[in-house]
Chains A and B, each alone.
Chain A
Amino acid sequence: MAELKLMKGNEAFAEAAIRAGADGYFGYPITPQSEVIEYLMAEQPENRTGMVVVQAESEVAAINMVYGGAGCGKKVLTSSSSPGISLKLEGISYLAGAELPAVILNVVRGGPGLGTIQPSQADYNQAVKGGGHGDYQLYVLAPASVQEMADFVGDAFDIAFKYRAPVLILSDGLIGQMMEKVYLKDQVPRWTDEQIHEMHSDWATYGRKDGRERNIITSLDLKSEKMEERVHRLQAKYKRMEEEDLRFEEIQTEDADYIIVAYGSSARIAQKTVELARAKGHKVGILRPITLFPFPKKRLMEMTKQVKGILSVELNMGQMVDDVRLAVEHKIPVEHFGRTGGIIHTPEEILEALEAKIIKG
């Protein structure tokens, strides 16, 4: 029986992590997501489930703690915001290369640089196009509600261990800070040592139990042939993610002439835009990617048969819009609208842009 609470996005994430059977959280304070570690420290999950919570000396240290824990077959996670995620990118690349399951939350704030503490969505490229070095891809989930902040933790761990890959939850300062009703799932027990040995004895480094061959966690392949093999192995995972774990939502698209593509906060705000637009007689719908990678490319291409134009709405200067354009192969017009630097666009502003750039354009 799920528990109903009124919670802040960041806190719901933290509580959900405990309930998802996480073994460890390693993090560092940064606005607007410090509530995650504060909530965990106050909750003392060590007493509830044995989950370990460590405040690391930096985001760099935290992501490397995640790497160490993930390599042992443990469910571990970290959280940060934009500048802190930049610090983690080396570690994220290593997680991807070493094929480690882990969950990373980015509560995006305005940037670049130290930026602002207000919400933004300007880390799309960082999350989806790499950010860290090398041929890798993150599975990216974009919550648009406090409920999804909670639900996505368990989902993220499932994906991470299904593929042995790091998963990024790309939230933003609005979702992280707002309070909404949330149904919290029942406690999933943490894996026992025996369960970990059974499930992960072929790769995890928990000690050469029963004299098995040693396991090595590494992303190094000095022989290029081996490195190419490794990269192909990673790519095969990403292809499978696209085939099996794509998620998106459609709102009022059945009869739509125009659609807004938006995720996270922008998708929530755009729902009001749809209301306003339809009141004016425009048939507008929303395609909300829930996973940013995999991206709903096929669905977007299908929609070019029905829809006359797309407005990509994102709290930045235009990042996801490129992926929308690629998906529709220029069959229909695609434009971007977004406020940035921590300013949040209003439903009316979005409607104005839709009318100016797409409907009348």
Chain B
Amino acid sequence: MDIKDIIKPENQVYKKTKLMTDNELSYCPGCGHGTTHRLMMEVVEEMGIADKTIGVAPVGCSVLAYDFMNVDMQQAAHGRAPALATAMNRLMPDKYVFTYQGDGDLAAIGTAETIHACNRGENIVIVFINNGIYGMTGGQMAPTTLPGMRSSTSPYGREISTMGSPIKMTELISNLPGVYSVSRHAVHSPKYVRKTKKAIRKAFEDTRLKKGLCFIEVVSNCNSGWKMTPRDSNVWLEENMLPFYELGDIKVEGKLIQK
């Protein structure tokens, strides 16, 4: 069979969702942001809720998420996205509200906003992209940078005695009663992508239960910050990030998973 016989509209099984705009992504080649954006927009399209969804973009590489996600969006000051989302949730409880935040946004400057939105149990989805580094500003150390990991502000490797240990924000907030579900995922290979999409879908659906906040962490690469090729960064991620930031469910339907 000729390829041009295969490539016909009736044979199409996958194409990028309409809810990603045509704008070229400003992210580096291979960056997990693009993949995660797309999964979220696929979920919104499949659920038919584009007219009821509002997203909050952070400060960080994904500050421009609103250029790529074709839903109403607000750009928040650094770390403040959960506060914006709180107001949206309280003022428009029938809408689907999500925040999309990086590790500096959620676990450094925004720690208070993250914890308190979780504590109040706002019916929103928080998507937390953890790549253990500050991408946008040029590769500085993040609260989630691994011990010994080099960055532009830990050029000799993260030293726990002066810089503290990496924070597992996800485990921290999962203890709060206001949080309904917590899980950690990845998007660098197909098997993880499929699981992540399922988790995102469930999170959006579960906000309708009004039982609390749904939190998804995506452990992602940052090949620019880590100074590797995209393929090498995904290998490094599997070998270094995933043993520390374990994938899987942490809290399901309001109950912590016992390990």
Contact = CB atoms under 8 A, between A and B. Distances in A.
Chains A and B share a contact (CB less than 8 Å): yes
Consensus secondary structure, chain A interface: mixed
A74 B86 CA distance: 14
A72 B54 contact: yes
A61 B51 contact: no
Interface in A180-227: 205-211, 214-220
Contacts of A24: 87, 90-91
A26 B238 CA distance: 43
B52 interface: yes
Given A58-B112, A206-B54, A219 B83 contact: no
A72 B91 contact: yes
* Residue among B53, B90, B112, B115 with the highest chain A CB neighbour number at 10 A: B90
Interface string A296-311: 0000000000000000
Contacts of A215: 72-73
Contacts of B84: 64-65, 67-68, 71
A65 B86 contact: yes
A61 B75 contact: no
Contact of A61 (B54, B72, B113): B113
Nearest to B99: A68
B80 interface: yes
B87 A217 contact: no
A1 to B, nearest CB: 31
A220 B76 CA distance: 10
Interface stretch (B28-36, B63-71, B186-194, B209-217): B63-71
Given A24-B87, A61-B83, A206-B92, A214 B71 contact: yes
* Residue among B53, B56, B57, B88 with the highest chain A CB neighbour number at 10 A: B88
B116 A61 contact: yes
Given A24-B90, A74-B91, A209-B51, A214 B80 contact: no
A161 B70 CA distance: 26
B77 interface: yes
A23 B88 CA distance: 11
Contact of B63 (A68, A69, A210, A220): A220
B219 interface: no
Interface string B77-110: 1001001111110111001000000000000000
Interface of B: 50-54, 56-57, 63-64, 66, 70-77, 80, 83-88, 90-92, 95, 112-113, 115-116
Task: Sort A-B residue pairs by CB-CB distance and give the 9 closest, nearest first.
Answer: A68-B84, A64-B83, A205-B72, A68-B87, A218-B75, A69-B87, A64-B80, A57-B116, A65-B87
24 contacts: A23-B91, A24-B90, A56-B83, A60-B83, A60-B112, A61-B83, A65-B84, A65-B87, A67-B76, A71-B74, A72-B88, A72-B91, A72-B92, A74-B91, A76-B91, A94-B77, A205-B54, A207-B51, A207-B52, A210-B51, A216-B72, A216-B73, A217-B75, A220-B63
